[in-house]
Structure 1
């Protein structure tokens, strides 16, 4: 089988063409290709670095947001607590004021009752004195001979007197 015969001339020319092609590629193509690969590698590294810095910044922002939320919750809780204290104080103050006013009204009513009682007692005393004087006048004006007549007179006078 003699199909493949090595020819030295063809091999020689192919080697020379390959070396010339390799030389031309090294001189004109390899540097731009390597430069573009290097630039691509640098841009990828820059993108990775910026992505990492963005991730760190997002982490910091998230931590700051959580801190702000926590502070806002604490402030809200403080305001609610303060509002409850104010409400309780207002209720206590209102209750104390109502108690004071009620005590004043009770005291005023008791004073009025005492004054009315005293006035009623004074009026009764005056009426008793007046009745006593009237009875004494009638007894003196009429001569009574017996004790029985005397009692009849007192009973009739008492019937005549009407107390209010």
Structure 2
């Protein structure tokens, strides 16, 4: 059977047809296919480069976020420390002012007590003097009620006056 064993003519025309098909494919199909594959390869490279850039950008953003977070924590700590310092200063100032007010009140109270003491002493001296005069007056009246005693008192006073 002739169909099973190829003849020389059949092989020749098959090779010619194959070569012709290769030339046509090379001219019309391979260039567009290779161009599409090349474009696809470039697109993939660009996508990978973009993904790498995006990854680097994300790392930078993450680093920036960490830095900003650290700065915010440091600022918060500084503000809290400042607030504590202000609070302590206000407390110390209030204590100092209260102590000054207490000292002032104590000084005023001591001055008032001293003034009242002096007034009481003056009043007491006046009262003692009044009592002494009353007692002396009563004694002198009693002594001078008798005529002989009056003469004797005047003579003794005159005698004392001459001696001095």
How far does residue 120 in structure 1 lie from its aligned partner after superposition? 0.7
Q: Report the number of matched residues.
A: 144
SS of residue matched to 1:4: coil
Provide Cα deviations, 1:32-90, integer angstroms capped at 9, x if missing partner: 11111111101110111111111111111111111111111111111111111011001
Quote the residue 2:98 is aligned against.
98
Quote the residue 1:49 is aligned against.
49
What is the alpha-carbon distance in structure 1 between the residues aligned to residue 65 and residue 3 of structure 2? 80
TM-score normalised by L of structure 1: 0.82
The within-5 A match list for 1:7-156 is: 7-143=7-143
RMSD: 1.9
Change (3 A) 1:86 1:109: same
Name stretches of at least 5 consecutive residues in structure 2 with no aligned partner: 145-164
TM-score normalised by L of structure 2: 0.82
What is the alpha-carbon distance in structure 1 between the residues aligned to residue 17 and residue 4 of structure 2? 21
Quote the residue 2:147 is aligned against.
none
How far does residue 4 in structure 1 lie from its aligned partner after superposition? 3.4
Name stretches of at least 5 consecutive residues in structure 1 with no aligned partner: 145-164
What is the alpha-carbon distance in structure 2 between the residues aligned to residue 77 and residue 45 of structure 1? 48
SS of residue matched to 1:143: helix
What is the alpha-carbon distance in structure 1 between the residues aligned to residue 134 and residue 98 of structure 2? 53
What is the alpha-carbon distance in structure 1 between the residues aligned to residue 3 and residue 74 of structure 2? 93
What is the alpha-carbon distance in structure 1 between the residues aligned to residue 26 and residue 135 of structure 2? 159
Provide Cα deviations, 1:1-20, integer angstroms capped at 9, x if missing partner: 99833333333322222121
